[in-house]
């Protein structure tokens, strides 16, 4: 394309920004540097919110959860090679969790990279990204920027959502073309995630299976939360009268207080149900692959509602696949149920409710203790009350014991308010998730973090302070990974492999950056400090001192640790 220098001109920088704005991308999470420093500056000047992080992985986790919360691709911007690799973990995480995200990375010069001549931050990024994401594209010509971004958006949000890599070599940004040519090259993506309707036969088959059930169960996964079909899902659950079990990030899609919620009767409903309708949840490790002891001996039939056809029969036979987007599928099921539908059998729902109430009653006294140092339940007793009183607060949660015990202890009341480690159980998502949750929703955020988990992303406390975000971080400080009382099994002077500095004061980190720091040694301290933080909206870090002996190895998934018969614990 020849450039007419007498006419208005545009360049790669402007075209990327124009293309983003045209498609409603209003926030970028990233870390500046060669070759994208000016892109960030210019995007900020053009009215895009550009949040600069201290490490790309955290920016990437922010983009990933922004995608989950908004159904629009969260955008992460990184520099070449090392920055790109730092962001890549988050891109893979987004893909694994079915969150729409675009990792936009600058890269070095193709001519030099491909001849491996040792360019500044040389790396064949496109090739490396490809197996770790849903799609990967590179743009070489300024007039292809519009198409490139359109492809990235569509790939991220259509069908099963996921992570997309967009490679933008340094030279692209400096390319100059005529402004009218540039403007015409932009693409506004129409209907980026088209509805996908299930066939009538699939809907009828599913309803026939459900109707014949004696002990039906509905499992709601984070795909159901993502779909934002909250009212339809509630209607389906209530019309059917079927008990529902929320997966971790689907807690609150229907309130945990809902009379049909079976969250506190998990093992009973998995074992004893005869028909299970999965809505936006996979039969992966979190559901013991749909078989084995967790699921009991009695035969089971599965109805599976999901947008990804290949998810069907991935682990066990699916009697009734319902493939489509959850909104359309659930509406179709509701239509098919017609005016009257027999409620789930009362002996079954009665059994489930009794079991649930029994478990809740058993747990209740543990939340009331006022021990110091705190145990997990004492500390969580304070936090569960706070979320009950402030149900709009977004809860971010990671760790092992800190994660597993908080999941059960803290009831959720509204959809998409619980953000955690997701399908990979990855540590370090906390601060990125907290930042994006505050930025994307404007609601206050309470991040409940194991001390190890926090260590993976703790430097972003500076980012939280810098942007003055209403984030209250509570570090459950038990001096280590799982427990702080481990010993060096070799008898040397090094600490145990799972132990950290004893009595560390994480609260001082917030003070270093102008935030509020509090050291809390009792549930009353903790309650007071969190309430104050949520009232003031000031960035706050509370060091919650937890008994180092209170935790269990790997929390509730200790069974996944390989055990050699040669080594007894």
| Residue (97 or 397) nearer to ligand ADP, CB | 97
Distance from C-alpha of 20 to C-alpha of 206, rounded to nearest angstrom: 41
Distance from C-alpha of 443 to C-alpha of 500, rounded to nearest angstrom: 33
| Residue (53 or 482) nearer to ligand OXT, CB | 482
Burial (CB count within 10 angstroms: exposed 0-12, middle 13-18, buried 19+), residue 485: middle
* Candidate segments 9-17, 38-46, 172-180, 447-455, binder of Mg ion by CB under 5 A: 447-455
| Residue (15 or 453) nearer to ligand OXT, CB | 453
Residues 539-558 interacting with ligand OXT (rule: CB under 6 A): 551, 554-557
| Residue (286 or 459) nearer to ligand OXT, CB | 286
**Structure-token match 């059930």, residue found:** 213
* Candidate segments 91-99, 231-239, 360-368, 450-458, binder of Mg ion by CB under 5 A: 450-458
Which tokens hold the place of 567?
């080594």
DSSP H/E element including 249: none
**C-beta of 294: minimal distance to ligand OXT in Å?**
8
Q: Do 147 and 108 touch, CB atoms closer than 8 A?
A: no
Q: Do 272 and 279 touch, CB atoms closer than 8 A?
A: no
| Residue 265 near which of Mg ion, ligand OXT, ligand ADP, none (CB within 5-8 Å, type-dependent) | ligand OXT
> With binding defined as CB under 5 A, does residue 478 bind Mg ion?
yes
Which tokens hold the place of 12?
């790669």
Q: Please, which residues bridge with residue 246 across strands?
A: 220
| Residue (282 or 355) nearer to ligand ADP, CB | 282
First to last CA, the chain: 70
- Name 400's Cβ contacts closer than 8 Å, sequence gap at least 6: 450, 452, 481, 482, 551, 554, 555, 557
Distance from C-alpha of 381 to C-alpha of 536, rounded to nearest angstrom: 22
**Structure-token match 């004696």, residue found:** 214
Peptide bond into 165 cis (omega under 30): no
Closest-by-Cβ residue to ligand ADP is 223
Q: Do 310 and 321 touch, CB atoms closer than 8 A?
A: no
Give the one residue of 286, 319, 334, 459 binding ligand OXT; rule: CB under 6 A. 286
Number of residues that bind Mg ion (CB under 5 A): 3
Which tokens hold the place of 445?
């955020």
| Residue 374 near which of Mg ion, ligand OXT, ligand ADP, none (CB within 5-8 Å, type-dependent) | none
**C-beta of 475: minimal distance to Mg ion in Å?**
9
| Residue (14 or 478) nearer to Mg ion, CB | 478
How many CB atoms lie under 10 A from the CB of residue 135? 18
* Candidate segments 309-317, 344-352, 385-393, 396-404, binder of ligand OXT by CB under 6 A: 396-404
| Residue 400 near which of Mg ion, ligand OXT, ligand ADP, none (CB within 5-8 Å, type-dependent) | ligand OXT
| Residue (203 or 250) nearer to ligand ADP, CB | 250
Distance from C-alpha of 132 to C-alpha of 88, rounded to nearest angstrom: 8
Give the one residue of 378, 408, 450, 515 binding Mg ion; rule: CB under 5 A. 450
> With binding defined as CB under 5 A, does residue 397 bind Mg ion?
no
Residues 436-465 interacting with ligand OXT (rule: CB under 6 A): 450-453
3-state helix/strand/coil string of 260-276: CECHHHHHHHHHHCCEE
Distance from C-alpha of 113 to C-alpha of 123, rounded to nearest angstrom: 6
Give the one residue of 185, 328, 393, 402 binding ligand OXT; rule: CB under 6 A. 402
> With binding defined as CB under 6 A, does residue 243 bind ligand OXT?
no
Q: Which residues bind ligand ADP (CB under 6 A)?
A: 97-98, 160-161, 221-223, 226-227, 247, 249-250, 280-282, 284, 286, 306-308, 311, 325-326, 423
Strand positions, DSSP E, 206-284: 216-220, 244-246, 275-279
Angle value at C-alpha 106, between 104 and 108, nearest 5 degrees: 150
Give the one residue of 407, 414, 418, 538 binding ligand OXT; rule: CB under 6 A. 407
| Residue 311 near which of ligand OXT, ligand ADP, Mg ion, none (CB within 5-8 Å, type-dependent) | ligand ADP
Nearest Cα residue to 501 out of 455, 448, 462 = 455
* Candidate segments 45-53, 209-217, 288-296, 474-482, binder of Mg ion by CB under 5 A: 474-482
| x/- track of binding to ligand OXT for residues 465-484 (CB under 6 A) | -----------x-x--xx--
Which tokens hold the place of 114?
């491909």
**C-beta of 217: minimal distance to ligand OXT in Å?**
13
| Residue 54 near which of ligand ADP, Mg ion, ligand OXT, none (CB within 5-8 Å, type-dependent) | none
Distance from C-alpha of 364 to C-alpha of 96, rounded to nearest angstrom: 35
Helices (H), 427-522: 430-441, 451-455, 461-466, 507-512
Angle value at C-alpha 33, between 29 and 38, nearest 5 degrees: 80
Which tokens hold the place of 259?
């009379």
Distance from C-alpha of 219 to C-alpha of 249, rounded to nearest angstrom: 12
> With binding defined as CB under 6 A, does residue 381 bind ligand OXT?
no
Polymer length in residues for the chain:
569
Distance from C-alpha of 292 to C-alpha of 517, rounded to nearest angstrom: 47
* Candidate segments 16-24, 229-237, 420-428, 510-518, binder of ligand OXT by CB under 6 A: 420-428
> With binding defined as CB under 5 A, does residue 451 bind Mg ion?
yes
| Residue 223 near which of Mg ion, ligand OXT, ligand ADP, none (CB within 5-8 Å, type-dependent) | ligand ADP
| Residue (240 or 397) nearer to ligand OXT, CB | 397
**C-beta of 111: minimal distance to ligand ADP in Å?**
40
**C-beta of 376: minimal distance to Mg ion in Å?**
10
State the residues that interact with ligand OXT by CB under 6 A: 248, 263-268, 286, 359-360, 363, 399-404, 407-408, 421, 425-428, 450-453, 476, 478, 481-482, 551, 554-557
State the residues that interact with Mg ion by CB under 5 A: 450-451, 478
């Amino acid at each position: 394309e020849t450039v007419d220098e007498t006419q208005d001109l545009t360049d790669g920088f402007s075209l990327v920004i124009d293309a983003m704005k045209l498609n409603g991308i209003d926030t970028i999470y990233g870390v500046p540097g060669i070759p994208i420093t000016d892109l960030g500056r210019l995007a900020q000047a053009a009215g895009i919110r550009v949040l600069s992080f201290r490490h790309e992985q955290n920016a990437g986790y922010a983009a990933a959860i922004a995608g989950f919360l908004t159904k629009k691709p969260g955008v992460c911007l990184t520099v070449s090679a090392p920055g790109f690799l730092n962001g890549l973990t988050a891109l893979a995480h987004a893909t694994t969790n079915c969150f729409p995200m675009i990792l936009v990375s600058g890269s070095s010069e193709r001519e030099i990279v491909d001849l491996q001549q040792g360019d500044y931050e040389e790396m064949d990024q496109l090739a490396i990204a490809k197996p770790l994401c849903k799609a990967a594209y590179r743009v070489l010509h300024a007039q292809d920027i519009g198409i490139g971004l359109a492809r990235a958006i569509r790939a991220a949000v259509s069908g099963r959502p996921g992570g997309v890599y967009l490679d933008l070599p340094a030279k692209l940004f400096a390319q100059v073309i005529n402004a009218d040519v540039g403007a015409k090259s932009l693409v506004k993506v129409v209907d980026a995630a088209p509805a996908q309707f299930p066939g009538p036969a699939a809907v009828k088959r599913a309803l026939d299976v459900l109707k014949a059930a004696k002990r039906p169960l509905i499992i709601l996964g984070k795909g159901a939360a993502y779909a934002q079909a909250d009212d339809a899902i509630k209607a389906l659950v209530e019309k059917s009268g079927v008990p529902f079990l929320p997966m971790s990030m689907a807690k609150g899609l229907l309130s945990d207080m809902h009379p049909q919620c079976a969250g506190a009767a998990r093992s009973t409903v998995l074992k004893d149900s005869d028909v299970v309708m999965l809505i936006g949840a996979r039969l992966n490790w979190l559901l013991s692959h749909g078989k084995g002891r967790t699921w009991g001996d009695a035969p089971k039939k599965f109805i599976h509602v999901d947008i990804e056809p290949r998810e069907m029969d991935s682990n066990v036979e699916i009697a009734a696949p319902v493939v489509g987007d959850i909104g359309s599928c659930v509406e179709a099921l509701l239509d098919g149920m017609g005016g009257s539908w027999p409620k789930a059998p009362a002996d079954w729902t009665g059994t489930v409710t009794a079991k649930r109430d029994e478990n809740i009653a058993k747990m209740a006294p543990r939340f009331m203790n006022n021990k110091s140092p705190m145990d997990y339940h004492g500390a969580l007793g304070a936090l569960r009350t706070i979320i009950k009183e402030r149900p709009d607060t977004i809860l971010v949660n990671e760790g092992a014991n800190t994660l597993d015990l908080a999941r059960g202890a803290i009831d959720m009341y509204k959809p998409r308010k619980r953000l955690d480690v997701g399908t990979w159980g990855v540590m370090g998502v906390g601060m990125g998730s907290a930042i994006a949750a505050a930025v994307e929703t404007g609601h206050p955020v309470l991040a409940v973090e194991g001390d190890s988990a926090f260590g993976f992303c703790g430097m972003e406390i500076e980012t939280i302070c810098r942007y003055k975000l209403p984030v209250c971080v509570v570090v459950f400080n038990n001096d280590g990974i799982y427990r702080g009382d481990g010993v060096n099994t070799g008898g040397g002077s090094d600490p145990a492999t799972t132990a950290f500095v004893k009595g560390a004061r994480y609260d001082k980190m917030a003070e270093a950056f102008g935030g509020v720091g509090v050291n809390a040694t009792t549930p009353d301290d903790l309650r007071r400090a969190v309430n104050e933080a949520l009232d003031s909206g000031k960035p706050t870090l509370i060091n919650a001192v937890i008994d180092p002996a209170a935790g269990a190895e790997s929390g509730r998934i200790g069974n996944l640790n390989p055990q050699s018969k040669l080594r007894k614990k």
